[in-house]
Amino acid sequence: GENVEQHPSTLSVQEGDSAVIKCTYSDSASNYFPWYKQELGKRPQLIIDIRSNVGEKKDQRIAVTLNKTAKHFSLHITETQPEDSAVYFCAARDTGRRALTFGSGTRLQVQP
Amino acid sequence: SQTIHQWPATLVQPVGSPLSLECTVEGTSNPNLYWYRQAAGRGLQLLFYSVGIGQISSEVPQNLSASRPQDRQFILSSKKLLLSDSGFYLCAWSPTENYGYTFGSGTRLTVV
């Protein structure tokens, strides 16, 4: 099955700086890679996703890049704000199980 | 628009007692449905997924089970809870396996 590794586990940045979270996946047939944001005690919410036919996607301050050859994808948040503080999860579609496999999460803390 | 309902929000149950968590989706038909569990401060573990009525794929230990008695209803059950069953249970749906999930609000289960 799919294996997704996510780094770093914690990340602290100053407000206004950029934050980058990286994930690698094992299933070369995976073709869908979403990112979720989970605030404390709340449900995860989809913030951006990318498909394997695209190398980069951007939505305002958030962007995701995908390198299929190296089997890794990254989340980039620019001009971070305190409300960006949360746990972020990457995921990859497991073609064998027809479900998403999630990374272990990154706790992002934006210091004002 | 589509909505997902999950209840109860919190539950405290003694070891050995039964469990029933329910999830329903509105505004769509034949959704893919999922149950995930999140231990405190941890990632998301896939428990069950279903691509249609009566079709359940299991990823977990034997003391949990899932059923899909109706197209938009997904139920997680246990006959006898263990301490290790404590966690945050999340139901999710997607239109197909190549789309991101929308999660329910979650059930925080504490087994005492």
Chain A's closest residue to B42, CA to CA, is A104
| Mean pLDDT, rounded, of chain A | 95
pLDDT at B97 > cutoff 80: no
- E-strand spans in chain A? 4-7, 10-14, 19-25, 32-38, 45-51, 56-59, 62-67, 72-77, 86-94, 99-102, 106-111
A45–B49 C-beta distance less than 8 A: no
A32–B57 C-beta distance less than 8 A: no
pLDDT at A90 > cutoff 80: yes
- The pLDDT tens digits of the residues spanning B50-68 come to 999 989 988 876 789 999 9
Arithmetic mean of pLDDT, B70-89: 95
Q: What is the pLDDT of residue B61?
A: 66
- The pLDDT tens digits of the residues spanning A26-55 come to 999 999 999 999 999 899 999 999 998 889
